[in-house]
Copies of this chain bind each other. A is one copy, B any other.
Amino acid sequence: MIEGDAPTRRTAPATLHDVAREAGVSLATASRSLNGSARKVNEEYRERVLAAAAKLGYTPNLSAQAVARGTSTTVALLVADIADPYFSSLAAGVVGAAGDDRLIVTMAETKRDSARELELVRAMRGQRPRVMILAGSRDIGDPNAAALEAELTAYEQTGGRAVFVSESDLPFRTLPLANRAGGRDLAVALHELGYRRFTALAGPETLRTAHDRIAGFAEGLASVGAQLPADRLVRSSFTRDGGYDAMRRLLEAGIGDTQLVFALNDVMAMGAMSAIRDAGLEPGRDLAVAGFDDIPTVRDVTPRLTSVRMPLERIGEQALRLALEDGADAASARASSTDVSTEVVLRESTPGPAA
């Protein structure tokens, strides 16, 4: 047999069949030995199978298992932007929790486009994932909402479980985030520090998360007799550059008597601080800034940023748990939001107004 010294050729991966033959047992026995089925198998056989599997470097074909079993071990995760610390922390939580349950997570980016999101949901359905976690925020009045609902309803009818992180109007399991309460608490805390006149750097008007945070903030101010006038809102995109840009425009238009700028999330706040500096002012001293989310890096910016802590990794874990836990109808299945409650963290970016 002159195969020469040709390099080892491409071979098909070892199959269960190969293992069974190598061990001299039936396919059924091999399968039972390697995955701990309900049935018992003779210890001697079991060892033979295990040895054969190790020898051949056998790894069960997950796809085949999924087909045969009719269930997969996949978790599908949809985020707006992976590079955004908010989503990457959340993803870390999901991936971590999934690993504990030996689930595999597949991930895709919606890029904040609901049409794209819809398309992705369709595509991911093909994986027959056990759960699907939608972490991008919802748009109010999203024209694709109905289609998305239909798609997810179909998905759930076929045994899947959809979970939204943060409020949605859709009838699926939801991990509510305390955006509103957080906004409220922040407003009260800032008021207590002595701040009275605020301007908000808001995300797109339709973004549910942005809406809730602003609404909460306004409520909080109202509760202490202050207010956030409607003209004190600058709209932009929900990103770092959006924050920078909004702040720049605000400064150009004149900040009036604003004492504190509330950016609706930390990355926007960081952009805003840079814009403030680029205008020759000192954030914190000349103009206070507050953010939202408390992403890790806000501890390392100067001045350290006041924010509302969202336990992002934990939220990711909880989202998966919520999806996995059985029973209860979707409507009532909202995680106890105490688990993911927020907390205002006051730092140097809000030193209190000049005396």
Contact = CB atoms under 8 A, between A and B. Distances in A.
Interface of A: 8-13, 57, 59-64, 66-67, 70, 72, 74, 81-85, 88-89, 91-92, 95-96, 99, 102, 104-109, 122-128, 151, 154, 157-159, 240, 270-271, 273-274, 277, 296-297, 299-302, 313
Nearest to A12: B158
A133 to B, nearest CB: 13
A150 to B, nearest CB: 8
A128 B13 contact: yes
12 contacts: A10-B159, A57-B151, A62-B127, A83-B313, A95-B109, A99-B108, A104-B124, A107-B107, A240-B296, A273-B300, A297-B297, A301-B302
A59 B152 CA distance: 13
Given A88-B88, A158-B12, A299-B274, A109 B126 contact: no
A59 B277 contact: no
Contacts of A301: 297, 300-302
A62 B126 contact: yes
A92 to B, nearest CB: 4
Nearest to A272: B300
A59 B125 contact: yes
Given A66-B63, A106-B105, A271 B300 contact: yes
A59 B126 contact: yes
A160 B229 CA distance: 60
Contacts of A88: 82-85, 88, 91
A347 to B, nearest CB: 12
A95 B107 contact: yes
A10 B92 contact: no
Contacts of A302: 277, 301-302
A271 B8 CA distance: 49
A44 to B, nearest CB: 26
A65 to B, nearest CB: 8
A25 to B, nearest CB: 21
Contacts of A85: 83, 85, 88
A95 B107 CA distance: 8
A2 to B, nearest CB: 21
A154 B89 contact: no
A105 B11 CA distance: 24
A21 to B, nearest CB: 18
Contacts of A9: 157
Nearest to A109: B95
B92 A83 contact: yes
